[in-house]
């Protein structure tokens, strides 16, 4: 992330990020920071209250290590919401030209873990919903892949890319303001997913969304 370091105080650096005032914790990692514009990877430790947010950050590695670090990259098959969230957490930046995420080399081990899961061999799966399921004002994602999407109460729902509806129904519903994407009990979908990712997340995904999944 890009910051403009303004002043070194006792506990925090005073800084701005995207035009907003913020603070950077002074610790062993940050004490060598110099005033001016810097591009650093940080952890968000902000304090959020009903009255507002005190933006506070801490460095994930010391400034010298970050400045000297090379890069590592990650490419993937298709868009996956969970993967994108993880890439952002690791300070990744999407490069449209190379169609790859770019990271500082000091998180290479974590990037390799993502590569191992999300780029594992694709397997065809059949998913059967055992009860009605809906997402409030949002699409339905399974294992980070969008499988159905409504845009309003009366919009109906469309299937995600490369998702097949074998039985049942996907639809929209709710009220004008509180609409949802709905998948009916007994609906059967087929799609391809990274095998190791399914193994990693199967228990939590199936429990939360009340469906069964099997390779076909």
**Cα–Cα separations (whole angstroms), residue 55 to 6, 160, 167:** 15, 37, 48
113 and 140 together in one domain: no
Looking at every residue in the chain, the average pLDDT score rounds to 92
Distance CA 39, CA 6 (A): 14
Boundary-marking domain end, from 32, 47, 65: 65
Of the listed ranges 74-78, 110-114, 158-162, 211-215, the least confidently predicted one is 74-78
* DSSP bridge partners of 188: 128, 167
The pLDDT tens digits of the residues spanning 149-162 come to: 999 999 999 999 99
* 86-91: long-range contacts, CB 8 A cutoff, minimum separation 24: 86/114, 87/114, 90/41, 90/114, 91/1, 91/41, 91/42, 91/60
| DSSP per-residue codes, 77-127 | SS--HHHHHHHHHTT-EEETTTTEEEEEGGGHHHHHHHHHHHTSPEEEEEE
CB atoms within 10 A of CB 94: 12
| pLDDT for 66 | 76
- pTM of the complete model beyond 0.85: no
The pLDDT tens digits of the residues spanning 92-110 come to: 988 888 889 988 888 899 9
Distance CA 139, CA 136 (A): 8
Looking at the chain, the whole-number percentage of residues with pLDDT higher than 90 is 69
133 and 108 together in one domain: no
131 and 59 together in one domain: no
191 and 136 together in one domain: yes
209 confidence band (pLDDT: 50, 70, 90): confident
| pLDDT for 58 | 93
Number of domains in the chain: 3
More confident residue, 60 or 163: 163
Domain that holds residue 89: 70-118
- 158 φ/ψ angles, rounded to the nearest 5 degrees: -110, 150
113 and 126 together in one domain: no
164 and 90 together in one domain: no
DSSP 8-state assignment for residue 184: -
130 and 207 together in one domain: yes
22 and 46 together in one domain: yes
The pLDDT tens digits of the residues spanning 6-24 come to: 999 999 999 999 889 999 9
72 confidence band (pLDDT: 50, 70, 90): confident
| pLDDT for 207 | 82
Helix (H, G, I), strand (E, B) or coil at 47: strand
The pLDDT tens digits of the residues spanning 44-62 come to: 999 999 888 999 999 988 8
107 and 182 together in one domain: no
140 and 204 together in one domain: yes
170 confidence band (pLDDT: 50, 70, 90): very high
175 and 134 together in one domain: yes
Mean pLDDT highest for which of 34-38, 49-53, 105-109, 137-141?
137-141
Boundary-marking domain end, from 118, 149, 179: 118
For residues 74-85, average pLDDT: 91
Distance CA 50, CA 48 (A): 7
Looking at the chain, the whole-number percentage of residues with pLDDT higher than 70 is 99
| pLDDT for 106 | 85
155 and 207 together in one domain: yes
């Amino acid at each position: 992330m890009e910051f403009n370091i303004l002043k070194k105080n006792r506990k925090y650096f005073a800084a701005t990020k995207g035009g907003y005032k913020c603070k950077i914790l002074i610790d062993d990692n940050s004490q060598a920071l110099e005033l001016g514009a810097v591009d650093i990877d940080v952890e968000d430790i902000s304090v959020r209250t009903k009255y507002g947010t005190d933006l506070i950050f801490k460095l994930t590695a010391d400034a010298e290590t970050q400045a000297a670090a090379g890069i590592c990259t990650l490419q993937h098959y298709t868009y996956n919401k969970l993967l994108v969230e993880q890439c952002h957490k690791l300070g990744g930046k999407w490069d449209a030209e190379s169609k790859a995420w770019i990271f500082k080399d000091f998180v290479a081990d974590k990037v390799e873990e993502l590569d191992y899961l999300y780029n594992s061999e694709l397997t065809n799966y059949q998913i059967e919903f055992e009860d009605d399921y809906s997402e409030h004002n949002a699409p339905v994602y399974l294992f980070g892949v969008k499988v159905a999407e409504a845009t309003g109460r009366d919009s109906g729902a469309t299937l995600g890319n490369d998702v097949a509806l074998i039985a049942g129904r996907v639809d929209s519903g709710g009220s004008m303001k509180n609409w949802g994407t709905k998948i009916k009990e007994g609906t059967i979908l087929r799609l391809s997913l990274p095998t190791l990712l399914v193994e990693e997340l199967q228990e939590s995904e199936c429990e939360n969304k009340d469906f069964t999944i099997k390779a076909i």
